[in-house]
Structure 1
Amino acid sequence: MFLLLRLLSKCPLRLLHAVGAMAGWLTFWASPTYRRRYRANVAQAGLAWSAVSDGVAAAGRMIAELPWLWLRPPGTPLGERVRWDGAELIEQALQDRRGLVLMTPHLACFEICAQAYAERFAESANAPITVLFRPARQAWLREVVDGSRGRPGLETAPANLAGVRQMIRALRQGHTIGLLPDQVPPEGLGVWAPFFGHPAYTMTLASRLLQQTGARALLIWGERLEKGQGFVVHVRPGPEIGRELTPESAALHINRSMEELILQAPSQYLWGYHRYKQPRGLDIGAAPTAVPAPAAGPAAGPVVESER
């Protein structure tokens, strides 16, 4: 399998995306469960099928481009494959040396964001990025993924208590961390908060890190361009999560910022992701039928105007 990934990593990005698009549609029609979940999530967001149908192919493109991203030699720059939109926001945030939390949903090529950041900012600003990850179960895949993310200026933290401590240290040193706040957290590590109007078990890690360290928050996503032309990394202001906010209120603000980002490019979001699933192993019964609005209190600042 490793040899196959190595072979695919040498293929042009345009070819990988074309093959991935076909694989995405094959998966969609071959799996009734995936197809139902995809359509249900789209309906929950209130979007027309025409606005998200290309997301089926986009999911396949995301998988197909992984060998190119993971097995790219560490010394080979992304170069012109990546363009930036809003990089000045990162530059300004890093000047404060308060630490920076970059948040992205399962939107477009989220893998490119950490690599692009490390290449542009880690050395020049003396601020490497640490990303949270869950090690793959297969030994060969774990070796590939670990090697891909262990790049200059890019560090990894395991999804456990030791990893959380590592991220806190990074933020207190004025460094950067990367998180996917729309990922369903493990048992006991989240709260129920609306996501496109439906209760979703939402991680509290992002808000806790911001509240404990006083770090800045920015939103980031890697737009996938057509015909293998590369990517545009977009950066936008993130929600302000004050220390006075409850976990439920903070989760609501973060979810709203994720929704805003997704609606900017709905055809590149992973609508097949099981966002509304029950957290594994958490004995809480069925998800609530409604999530009460957070108690009145200080506002968490404006949610990003239509761009995520």
Structure 2
Amino acid sequence: MGLVFRVLSRLPLAFLHVLGAALGWIVYLASPTYRRRFQANVAQAGIAWHDARPAIAAAGRMTAELPWLWVGTKRQPLGDKLRWDGGELIAEAMAQKRGLVMLTPHMGCFEICAQAIAERFTSAEAPITVLYRPARQASLRDVMAGSRERPGLATAPASLAGVRQMIRALRKGEVIGLLPDQVPPDGLGVWAPFFGKPAYTMTLAARLVQQTGAALLLIWGERLPGGEGFVVHVLPAPEIAKEASAEDAAATINTAMESLIRRAPGQYLWGYHRYKEPRGLDIGAAPDNPAP
């Protein structure tokens, strides 16, 4: 797998995106389950089909660009392939030295966000720490681990040890990154509305802010057409009160993710199984009428 990624990483980003768009449509047409989930999630969100339809190809582009992101960018920096919108918000938050939590949904090129922050804002001594789940395939797991070994970027496993690592980073005034629309493992979540439907939502993001007093910002990586590169958008986040309940805090974060997704529904992963119930967990069924 490593050899394949090294070969593909030398191809132009525009070519990889063309291949990826074809892959996205092949998967959509070949998998009735994926297609039904994609369509159901779009309908649940109230997004017009013509606005969400580009996300079919975007999902394939996300996969096809990984060799370029994981391997190619280790040979040379992002350079003119990267633009910033709102980067000054990160600089202002870091200057406060109280830690910074960055949240992004499964939208656009979320892999680019941590890399971009590592190149511009952090260092080997004070990196951005991102939470991740190792790939199931051993060969891909090795490639993933190697790709994220770079100055200014550290990883934390989705485990208790990883949570402790992120708390330490925040208390040192560093930056961490999370995908809060990821269904949490091991029962570490609560039911909260997401586009009007109960979704099992992680409590970790809010707890980290509440326990450490860290700043909170939203971020997402827009994928530009024609392989031109990416724009990393940084936006203010809603305030999460220290005394807010887990349910209220999760609902606040879900609403913030919805606001980002509505900005570019053609780049969201609508096929992601956001409303699934984690297996084997005594967490209770989704409520019929979640709190707004």
Question: TM-score if structure 1 supplies the norm length?
Answer: 0.93
CA distance in 1, matches of 2:231, 2:175: 20
**8 A Cα contact 1:121 1:127, kept in partner:** no
Q: Which amino acid aligns with 1:121?
A: F
Q: In the TM superposition, what whole-angstrom CA distance separates every residue of 1:255-276 from its partner, at most 9, and x where no partner exists?
A: 0000000000000000000000
1:200 alignment partner in structure 2: 199
Q: Considering only aligned residues, what root-mean-square deviation do their CA atoms show, in Å?
A: 1.2
Alignment check: 8 A CA contact 1:74 1:152 kept: no
What is the letter of the counterpart of residue 42 of structure 2? V
Distance 2:174 2:75 in 1: 22
Partner of 2:166: 167
Q: CA deviation at 1:94?
A: 0.4
Aligned residue in 2 for 1:4? 4
1:137 deviates by 2.0
Aligned runs of 1:123-272 on 2, under 5 Å?
Answer: 123=123, 127-272=126-271
Residues 114 and 154 in structure 1, CA contact (< 8 A), matched pair in contact too: yes
8 Å contact kept, 2:202–2:250: yes
Q: What do the CA deviations read for 1:167-196 (whole angstroms, capped 9, x no partner)?
A: 000000000000000000013200000000
Residue type of the partner of 1:62?
Answer: M
Following superposition, the deviation at residue 48 of structure 1 comes to 1.1
Assess if the C-alpha contact under 8 Å between 1:168 and 1:209 holds in 2. yes
Q: How does 1:56-71 map to 2 (within 5 A)?
A: 56-71=56-71
Q: 1:94–1:127: 8 Å Cα contact kept in structure 2?
A: no
Residues 187 and 280 of structure 1 are in contact (CA less than 8 Å); yes or no, is this contact kept in structure 2? no
CA distance in 2, matches of 1:74, 1:18: 22
Percent identity among equivalent residues? Answer: 68
| TM-superposition CA deviations, 1:122-178 (whole Å, max 9, x none) | 139x64100001112222111110111111000000100000000000000000000
Tell me how far 1:285 sits from its aligned partner: 4.4
Residue pairs, 1:260-299, within 5 angstroms: 260-293=259-292
Q: Alpha carbons of 1:216 and 1:251: their partners in 2 closer, same or farther (altered >3 Å)?
A: same
| Deviation readout 1:5-40 (Å, 9 max, x if unpaired) | 211111000000001001100100000000000000
Conserved 8 A contact 2:193-2:291:
no
Q: Aligned residue for 2:83? A: 83
Which portions of structure 1, spanning 4 or more consecutive aligned residues, are displaced by more than 6 angstroms?
none
Residue identity opposite 2:181 in structure 1 = D
Once the two structures are superposed, residues 210-263 of structure 1 have per-residue CA deviations (whole angstroms, 9 ceiling, x without a partner) of 000000000000000000000000000012112110000000100000000000
In structure 2, give the amino acid aligned to 1:111.
E
Aligned: 1:17 with 2:17: yes
Q: Deviations over 1:70-89 (max 9, x none)?
A: 11253521111100000010
How much does 1:289 deviate?
1.4
5+ residue gaps in structure 2?
none
CA contact (8 A) 1:100 1:176 kept: yes
Q: By how many angstroms is 1:61 displaced?
A: 0.3
Q: Deviations over 1:273-302 (max 9, x none)?
A: 000000122123432212134xxxxxxxxx
- The aligned residue for residue 48 of structure 1 is 48
Question: Quick one: distance in 2 between partners of 1:120 and 1:65?
Answer: 21
Q: 1:117-128, aligned counterparts within 5 Å?
A: 117-123=117-123, 127-128=126-127
Question: 2:286, 2:229 → 1: CA distance?
Answer: 40
Is the contact made by 1:217 and 1:237 (CA closer than 8 Å) also made in structure 2?
yes
Counterpart AA for 2:92: Q
